[in-house]
Amino acid sequence: MSVTEQFSSVAGVQHQHHHRRGTFADHLFRPAAPPHAASTLAIFLRLKCCVAEAKEVGYGALYENSLITNEICENDHRLAHSLESLTVGVVGLKYRNRLVHPWGSAVGVGNCRVSSLITHGFEGAVLMSLFWIVLRQLADIEEAMATSRKVITKEEWEKKLNDVPIKKADMNKLVMNFLVTEGYVDAAEKFRQESGTEHIDLATITDRMAVKKAVQCGNVEDAIEKVNDLNPEILDTNPQLFFHLQQQRLIELIRNGKIEEALEFAQEELAPRGEENQSFLEELERTVALLAFEDVSNCPVGELLDISQRLKTASEVNAAILTSQSHEKDPKLPSLLKMLIWAQNQLDEKASYPRINDLSTAKLEDPAV
Amino acid sequence: MVTNQQDLIGRYFLEQAKLNASSRGDVDMEDDDAEALPTELNTINSSGGFVVVSTDKLSVQYTSVNLHGHDVGVIQANRPAPVKRLTYYFEMKVKNAGAKGQIAIGFTNESFKMRRQPGFSGIDWYNIGQYLVPFFDQYGTLRPIPGGTFDECFVVGQQNVEMEQLKQCFISELQELTSRWEQNSYGYHGDDGLLYRGQGKGEPFGPTFTTGDIVGGGINYASQEVFFTKNGVVVGTVYKDVKGPLFPTIAVHSQNEEVTVNFGKEPFLFDIKAYEAQERFKQQSMIEKISLPQNVSYGVVRSYLLHYGYEDTLNVFDMANNNSVPPITLPQENGFVEQDSTYALNQRKTLRQLIRSGQIDAAFGKLHEWYPQIVQDDQSPTCFLLHCQKFIELIRVGELENAVKYGRGELAKFLELEDYKELVKECVALLAYEEPSKSSVGHLLGDPQREVVADAVNAMVLSTNPNAKETQSCLHSQLEKLLRQLTACCLERRFLNGDQGEAFNLHRVLNSSKMGKH
């Protein structure tokens, strides 16, 4: 069996001795190969056939058989380019007639006995070059496959979900944590009765909620008093909070039309703070600007009068109190929900799996194919 | 149809009861702590003959006089770096930089040949012309070909342009290809401060280091990077694309070089804890930036209360939401689902109350009255759980005689059945102790056990709803589904990352004082 015949059998292709332009290529390339690693292996095998064939009839056939080159071009431009530069190099050289060496045993990917490919002289070098180039393509494909996404079916995923151990007690704790940090005093107490979940001393919550409510209703003076009753250090160690509370007081005075009082207050209490701190000064100026407008609801700083400003301040006070009591200022539940969104986004890069797109229904969507 | 579903639900809670018994501690905790750590240097596979290792296997001295590139004293640690954690780190103190200060620190994997410093491959690309041509042997390992040099392959007596081009093309292909295939190490070298990654040429990386310096090497599994430090400061990082276990490795090469390694027995100069905290914080802030749909947390809590039948809490919660400034409106769920959650809310609340307070007979009574189909089959998992609970309650109040009577009457029949006998045996075992709550089956007397029974009954009642579409909605609350999805995603991602990095553990997250244990 000639070398070419040997290889044709490996490639699973019938060998034909016609070298007319087109026929050989046609025959070699007609069997359809799937567009994955297998096809690069097929190309490799075809290449070897070509070279083996060319050895018998001359390397010129490689160069001349542009159909083969084009076919290879379709799959990989780099490969074609390398091949082209090689064939140019080869054709420019004289070559000696040599006995054809058998390739040696099986051509597996990564399993190749290159030694057997290295015959004496540059035929070996050419072949080795071809070999390396093709192998390179395989390495690229391997890498692409490694980064391709794994597909997980709904059944597989549901099994994984079922394997996750979740304790009822942990979920109760999470809910209680939410109720407490958000200030649902009565609900927290009821939940304790109905579920048996413990919570921190509710009295501290009541006080905290009173402060929050006072700010939300615009009674800032009252709120400040309460905060100091609770813990005088809070405002001492939190100048920004204190400034915002004072600012809110100013806003309320302006809202109630007490212009004289407002100006006095601004000059005595807030201006000194503004001098110490640039951002305070800017805020102060913004607030005082409210006084310049007749129709406050339409002015550029009108948002300060909005209820959302009160809520912002209230929330700031709430957080400061919680921190001072060494509690976390944020409930854990929203963080966990954000983590879920983040975790799904991270996993999307590596796998296709059933997602939960709507948090309020927690419905599993089928994986994108 | 209905009985099938009931059975499914019942069995699910039976499983939960078993889980309650077994997982006393945190589930994944042991898993993460079980990895072995490097503790000392590996004297068995090191490049012997050039170095002397101290008896405590933590110091190395180069005893020879180095003559060429291959008489390097390379040593790996005895075990590879553990992966199921956020970072791994170790340090090396340069006691003596010796004649040339050619010390290297880094990581190598199992296939690394202990002939060169970490970061070098087996091939010296600078001298490829003179070196032996590499090829893949039958095991796919890159080896030099015996008996033939590169130049010989190309020699024909013809030196011409095309040949040169061919040769260059070949060399670059070879370099690229093998750098990828051969990459199995990272090394930070003290004499030139370069980072070596498996090719002959190093890249500018950090400062040089010498006698008295303490250099450290670490892996950050979250960012998949290898980093190095000098005297407590990070000098650089590089992306880690070497797969597989990585061994901490050091190398010495010139006369009198001596280093000591620290695998954690002594405190590190570099504040690795602060580094880890920084990483976690980075990740946490990234997560915090994600925006949630409006009021979704309130919705989750509300549906939780609805699902498990905490009616009183729910009413107070709703009231507070309506009274708040501004009133909190919850996202409208799909109309049908909302309705179904309120199904039998009052009955479920009552049943839960009864079970939690140990009034099992009353619970049975109510069930017979309201939902006879649930207690119809006395051998269903639900009834079984209720009977067990009754037995447990009798023991709790010390009525041991009654307990025995009850056990004989109601529990004995379950001993025959495969799925049930385990729990029956455990319940009965309670009788054996003076202080059953302190025994190995003491958990049965605890709250979680009652909780399982209450949840089982709750789910069964939900299943009687003619509108209930699927079993799933009876078993899991929305919160539970979300938490499961979160855990599964984190675990899968870690798995696809070669099982590297910290695992997500809900129990740990909930019980830590600060969020950000991720």
For the stretch A258-307, pLDDT in tens is 888 988 998 888 888 888 888 888 888 888 888 887 776 777 788 888 88
Question: In chain A, whose CA is at the least distance from the CA of B303?
Answer: A360
Average pLDDT over residues B1-8: 66
Q: Residue B510: CB partners within 8 Å, gap ≥ 6?
A: A170, A173, A174, A177, A332
Q: Which residues of B touch A127 (CB under 8 A)?
A: none
Query: Mean pLDDT highest for which of A61-70, B145-154, B328-337, B440-449?
Result: B440-449
Question: Is A89 within 8 Å of B140 when comparing Cβ atoms?
Answer: no
- Which residue in A128, A168, A334 is closest to B292 by CB distance? A334
pLDDT at A328 over 80: no
* Mutate which: A342, A350, A353, vs B, most B CBs within 10 A: A342
Orientation angle between helical segments B2-22 and B418-429, nearest 10 degrees: 40
Chain B 416-475, residues with CB within 8 Å of chain A CB atoms = 447-448, 451-452, 455
- For residue B469, give the amino acid letter: K
pLDDT at B293 over 80: yes
Task: State which H helix or E strand residue A187 sits in.
Answer: helix A185-195
The alpha-carbon gap from B114 to the nearest alpha carbon of chain A, in Å, equals 23
Please choose, from the candidates B283, B515, B293, the residue with its C-alpha nearest in 3D space to the C-alpha of residue A174. B515
Q: Which of A50-59, B37-46, B218-227 has the lowest mean pLDDT?
A: A50-59
For residue A260, list its beta bridge partners: none
Chain A within 8 Å of B129 (Cβ-Cβ)?
no
Please choose, from the candidates B121, B98, B125, B274, the residue with its C-alpha nearest in 3D space to the C-alpha of residue B187. B121
- Which residue in A178, A190, A336 is closest to B301 by CB distance? A178
- For residue B109, give the amino acid letter: N
- For residue B174, give the amino acid letter: L
**CB neighbourhood size of A259 (10 A):** 11
- Which residue in B136, B169, B176 is closest to A129 by CB distance? B169
Q: Which of A102-111, A356-365, B300-309 has the lowest mean pLDDT?
A: A102-111
Q: Which residues of B touch A166 (CB under 8 A)?
A: 480, 483-484, 487, 506
Q: How far apart are CA A289 and CA B376, in angstroms?
A: 75
Average pLDDT over residues B47-66: 81
pLDDT at B382 over 70: yes
- In the structure encoding, which two tokens stand for residue A181, read together? 């940090």
Question: Is B300 within 8 Å of A359 when comparing Cβ atoms?
Answer: yes
Task: Give residue B72's pLDDT.
Answer: 78
pLDDT tens-digit map of B19-41: 776 654 444 444 556 788 888 88
Chain A within 8 Å of B350 (Cβ-Cβ)?
no
Orientation angle between helical segments A185-195 and A202-216, nearest 10 degrees: 150
Q: Which residues of B touch A122 (CB under 8 A)?
A: 153-154, 156, 163, 166
Q: Which of A199-208, B119-128, B285-294 has the lowest mean pLDDT?
A: B119-128
* Mutate which: A83, A105, A115, vs B, most B CBs within 10 A: A115
Q: B168 falls in which pLDDT band (50, 70, 90)?
A: low
Q: Which of A106-115, A122-131, B47-56, B184-193 has the lowest mean pLDDT?
A: A106-115
For residue B247, list its beta bridge partners: B108
Chain A within 8 Å of B49 (Cβ-Cβ)?
no
Look at residue A111 and give its three-state secondary structure.
coil
- Which residue in A121, A128, A332 is closest to B510 by CB distance? A332
Question: Is B509 within 8 Å of A340 when comparing Cβ atoms?
Answer: no
Q: How far apart are CA A37 and CA A144, in angstroms?
A: 10
Task: Give residue A61's pLDDT.
Answer: 45
Q: Which residues of B touch A171 (CB under 8 A)?
A: 304, 477, 479-480, 483
For residue A352, list its beta bridge partners: A151
Question: Is A194 within 8 Å of B312 when comparing Cβ atoms?
Answer: yes
Q: A111 falls in which pLDDT band (50, 70, 90)?
A: very low
The 3-class secondary structure across B37-105, one letter per residue, is CCCCECCCCCCCCCEEECCCCCEEEECCCCCCCCCCEEEEECCCCCCCCCEEEEEEEEEECCCCCCCEE
Task: Give residue B122's pLDDT.
Answer: 46
Q: Which of A15-24, A153-162, A171-180, A321-330 has the lowest mean pLDDT?
A: A15-24
User: What are the b/e assignments for A101-139, b being 16+ CB within 10 Å?
Assistant: eebeeebebeebbbbebbbebbbbbbbbbbbbbbbbbbb
Phi first, then psi, for residue B147 (nearest 5°) are 85, 5
* Number of CB pairs, chain A paired with chain B, less than 8 A apart: 246
Q: A341 falls in which pLDDT band (50, 70, 90)?
A: very high
Q: How far apart are CA A244 and CA A315, in angstroms?
A: 11
Q: How far apart are CA B60 and CA B258, in angstroms?
A: 6
Task: State which H helix or E strand residue B217 sits in.
Answer: strand B214-220
Q: Dihedral of the CA atoms B179, B182, B185, B186 (nearest 10)?
A: 0
pLDDT at B178 over 80: no
Question: Is B352 within 8 Å of A167 when comparing Cβ atoms?
Answer: no
Contact call for residues B111 and B184 (beta carbons, < 8 A) = yes
Task: Give residue B41's pLDDT.
Answer: 87
Question: Is A331 within 8 Å of B313 when comparing Cβ atoms?
Answer: no
Query: Mean pLDDT highest for which of B10-19, B147-156, B280-289?
Result: B280-289
Q: Which residues of A touch B481 (CB under 8 A)?
A: 161, 356, 362
Q: A90 falls in which pLDDT band (50, 70, 90)?
A: very low
Cα B65 off chain centre by: 46
Q: How far apart are CA A191 and CA A181, in angstroms?
A: 14
Q: B123 falls in which pLDDT band (50, 70, 90)?
A: very low
pTM of the entire structure? 0.67
pLDDT tens-digit map of A126-161: 444 454 444 444 445 445 555 667 888 899 999 999
The alpha-carbon gap from B486 to the nearest alpha carbon of chain A, in Å, equals 5
Please choose, from the candidates B36, B81, B38, B23, the residue with its C-alpha nearest in 3D space to the C-alpha of residue B501. B81
Please choose, from the candidates A265, A264, A225, A227, the residue with its C-alpha nearest in 3D space to the C-alpha of residue A246. A265
Phi-psi region of B365 (alpha: psi -120 to 50; beta: other; left: phi over 0): alpha
Task: Give residue A161's pLDDT.
Answer: 92
Cα A361 off chain centre by: 23
Question: Is A125 within 8 Å of B293 when comparing Cβ atoms?
Answer: no
The dihedral through the CA atoms of B113, B116, B120, B126 has a sign that is negative
The alpha-carbon gap from A191 to the nearest alpha carbon of chain B, in Å, equals 5
Question: In chain B, whose CA is at the least distance from the CA of A306?
Answer: B326
Q: Which residues of A touch B507 (CB under 8 A)?
A: 167, 170
The average confidence (pLDDT) of chain B is 79
The ipTM of this complex is 0.77
Please choose, from the candidates B247, B222, B253, the residue with its C-alpha nearest in 3D space to the C-alpha of residue B237. B222
* Mutate which: A215, A335, A364, vs B, most B CBs within 10 A: A335
Q: Which of A8-22, A296-310, B179-193 has the lowest mean pLDDT?
A: A8-22
Q: Which of A8-12, B90-94, B319-323, B468-472 has the lowest mean pLDDT?
A: A8-12
The alpha-carbon gap from A221 to the nearest alpha carbon of chain B, in Å, equals 19
Q: Which residues of A touch B288 (CB under 8 A)?
A: 335, 338
- For residue A128, give the amino acid letter: M
Task: Give residue B212's pLDDT.
Answer: 93
Q: Which residues of B touch A315 (CB under 8 A)?
A: none
* Mutate which: A150, A155, A339, vs B, most B CBs within 10 A: A339
Half-sphere exposure of A121 (CA within 13 A, CB side): 11
pLDDT tens-digit map of B304-317: 999 999 999 999 99
Look at residue B250 and give its three-state secondary structure.
strand
**Cα–Cα distances in angstroms (integers) from residue A338 to residues A166, B106, B279, in the given order:** 19, 37, 18
Average pLDDT over residues B144-152: 41
Average pLDDT over residues A179-195: 89
pLDDT at B172 over 70: no
One DSSP character per residue, B294-341 reads: TTHHHHHHHHHHHHHT-HHHHHHHHHHHHHSSSPPPPPPPPHHHHHHH
pLDDT at B223 over 90: no
Q: Which of A31-35, A209-213, A302-306, B480-484 has the lowest mean pLDDT?
A: A31-35
Question: In chain A, whose CA is at the least distance from the CA of B146?
Answer: A115
Angle, CA B355 vertex, CA B320 and CA B360 arms, to 5°:
155
pLDDT at B106 over 70: yes
DSSP type of residue B291? P
Q: Which residues of A touch B506 (CB under 8 A)?
A: 166, 170
**Pairing between strand B258-262 and B233-239?**
unpaired
Q: How far apart are CA A139 and CA B133, in angstroms?
A: 20
Q: Dihedral of the CA atoms B274, B280, B286, B290 (nearest 10)?
A: -140
For residue B136, list its beta bridge partners: B142
- Give me the residue label for tokens 């001795």: A17
The average confidence (pLDDT) of chain A is 68
The alpha-carbon gap from A13 to the nearest alpha carbon of chain B, in Å, equals 26
**Pairing between strand A150-151 and A351-352?**
parallel
Q: How many residues does chain B have?
A: 518
- In the structure encoding, which two tokens stand for residue A88, read together? 């140019």
Task: Give residue A150's pLDDT.
Answer: 82
Angle, CA A297 vertex, CA A291 and CA A298 arms, to 5°:
95
**CB neighbourhood size of B261 (10 A):** 22
Task: Give residue A25's pLDDT.
Answer: 32
pLDDT at B488 over 80: yes
- In the structure encoding, which two tokens stand for residue A212, read together? 């929050």
- For residue B7, give the amino acid letter: D
Question: Is A190 within 8 Å of B23 when comparing Cβ atoms?
Answer: no
pLDDT at A26 over 70: no
Q: B224 falls in which pLDDT band (50, 70, 90)?
A: confident
Contact call for residues B366 and B377 (beta carbons, < 8 A) = no
- In the structure encoding, which two tokens stand for residue A293, read together? 């407008």
- Between B152 and B406, the higher pLDDT residue: B406
Q: How many residues does chain A have?
A: 369
